[in-house]
Structure 1
Amino acid sequence: MLLTQPLGQLATRIAGATAVFHQFKLDFCCGGQQSLGEAIAKRGLNQQEVLQALENLQHQKDPAINWHAEPAPKLIDYILVNFHQKHRQQLPELIRLAKRVETVHGDSPDCPHGLAAHLHDMQQELESHMLKEEQILFPMLRQGIYPYGPISVMLEEHQEHGDALKKLDELSFEQQLPLGACNTWTALYLGLKELKEDLMQHILLENEILFVEPTKPGHGEQHCCGSCQ
């Protein structure tokens, strides 16, 4: 049960939990040994609100959906909720955590120096990319129009996102935690791993399914973002 688990344990096992704790001002770092229930009681918070926020993070994406067999509008809706919306939630919190780690542990040789700045750059690039999809490309795809120019631009930007993930791995030592890493550092690397997985899946669904016109040859050609090579 979530209420009996220590805040530090929840922060390092549920990706995105730190954002919830930050929202409710629950100390998961220095106060990470207290249980969620104890922390909620001390702050006089609404228990159900906190639990609902954490449980929302634990929902599972349905891996059984065959997106090749689904209409483009349904896949677009899925991408908007599970990736566009989620990236906009993930990056601000990851930037905050990275800044905290760099400030507190800047003298450590394992500190991911420059990570916060890189995440900020990724946030700006992704936001621009997603807006172009939402405002230009997705409305056309919903109508069955597959414009070569906009799709080519998106594919090129996907390659750039893949390069950004490679740099993220370099700056964070591939998310390998040093001995004795604090809860904030652990939560940061957990969140980075989730961001990488989500962004790669996001790119895959668009490159291999959404952007490929079903009636034309070449359906299913590989357009790797580069981060898995």
Structure 2
Amino acid sequence: MKSTITVNGKTRLGELVTYFPTITTRLNELHIDYCCQGDRTIEEAIEEANLNSGFIAEIQNAYSDYLAKPNKELSVAELSDEQLIDLILEIHHQPERVLWMELDQLVNKLLLVHFKHGKELLLKLHRNFSELKLELEEHFAKEEEELFIAMRKREKTSEERAAISSMIHELEGEHEIAGQIIKRIIKETNDFTPPEYACPTMKAVYHKLHELADDIFLHIAKENSVLFKRYA
């Protein structure tokens, strides 16, 4: 399996972040969706984001610098199903659970502390976070207790592969829902920028929400663009 790619305007976003994971920071800054819309090309993303063609050269140069680093990450495309599942559980499922458990207490505290300062904002934030937490909890359970167990099986019948494909279709829909909720949170928090009246708790909530959102986007990209595509 290849370990590098040639980056150009026709490169799909899902493939780009698969082989160049650190580019996600730049894509997140520009609000370029590479997880649920990972099948778009860089050219299509540039057009939708109203960027000039120089952005392609920026990515090409950044990717060349990334390849020159001796300690770069192994591309997830080079991992087996079992290795990739283990990686997803270790660096995404577990840390994301920790984050949303911390946020669950903080968001509720924030709602009471600053209710008089920003009632509308905080009610929306509380509702959106609660919806996101519910989606993630149920989604992780389906992956860990059904999908990943089925994928780990070495020999699969055609019926078993069909069942996996059916589960993937459902889970991709849930990825889309989670992505839309996060986009609402980003918009309503003004790109995770705390208001002037923000106390340390509110600043911590915004920081942790930002961290959770970025990790979920990369998490979804690894599943949609790599693991799930193996069962298309």
Normalising to structure 1: TM-score of the pair? 0.61
Q: 1: CA distance between counterparts of 2:140 and 2:229?
A: 18
CA shift for structure 1 position 179:
2.2
Which one scores higher on RCO, CA 8 angstroms, separation ≥ 6?
2
CA shift for structure 1 position 111:
4.4
Q: Given residue 184 of structure 1, which amino acid in structure 2 is its aligned partner?
A: T
Could you list the runs of 5+ residues in structure 2 that have no partner in the other structure? 1-70
Q: 2: CA distance between counterparts of 1:139 and 1:189?
A: 35
Give identity over the alignment, percent. 29
User: Does residue 158 in structure 1 map to residue 172 in structure 2?
Assistant: no
The correspondence for 2:114, drawn from 81, 99, 105, is: 105
Q: Given residue 125 of structure 1, which amino acid in structure 2 is its aligned partner?
A: E
2:129 aligned partner: 119
Q: 1: CA distance between counterparts of 2:95 and 2:78?
A: 24
> Matched residue pairs, number?
154
CA shift for structure 1 position 213:
1.5
Q: 1: CA distance between counterparts of 2:76 and 2:191?
A: 30
User: Does residue 133 in structure 1 map to residue 143 in structure 2?
Assistant: yes
Q: Given residue 207 of structure 2, which amino acid in structure 1 is its aligned partner?
A: L
Q: 1:113 aligns to what SS in structure 2? A: helix
Asked if the contact 1:101/1:111 (under 8 Å) is kept, the reply is no
Q: Given residue 87 of structure 2, which amino acid in structure 1 is its aligned partner?
A: Y
| Structure 2 counterparts to residues 12-31 of structure 1, below 5 A | none
| Structure 2 counterparts to residues 170-185 of structure 1, below 5 A | 170-185=187-202
- Deviations 1:140-183 (CA, angstroms, capped at 9, x unpaired): 22225542201111111111111111122233233111225211
Could you list the runs of 5+ residues in structure 1 that have no partner in the other structure? 1-61, 217-229
Asked if the contact 1:67/1:209 (under 8 Å) is kept, the reply is yes
Asked if the contact 1:112/1:173 (under 8 Å) is kept, the reply is no
CA shift for structure 1 position 113:
2.4
CA shift for structure 1 position 95:
2.0
Normalising to structure 2: TM-score of the pair? 0.61
Q: 1: CA distance between counterparts of 2:175 and 2:227?
A: 13
The correspondence for 2:97, drawn from 88, 91, 115, is: 88
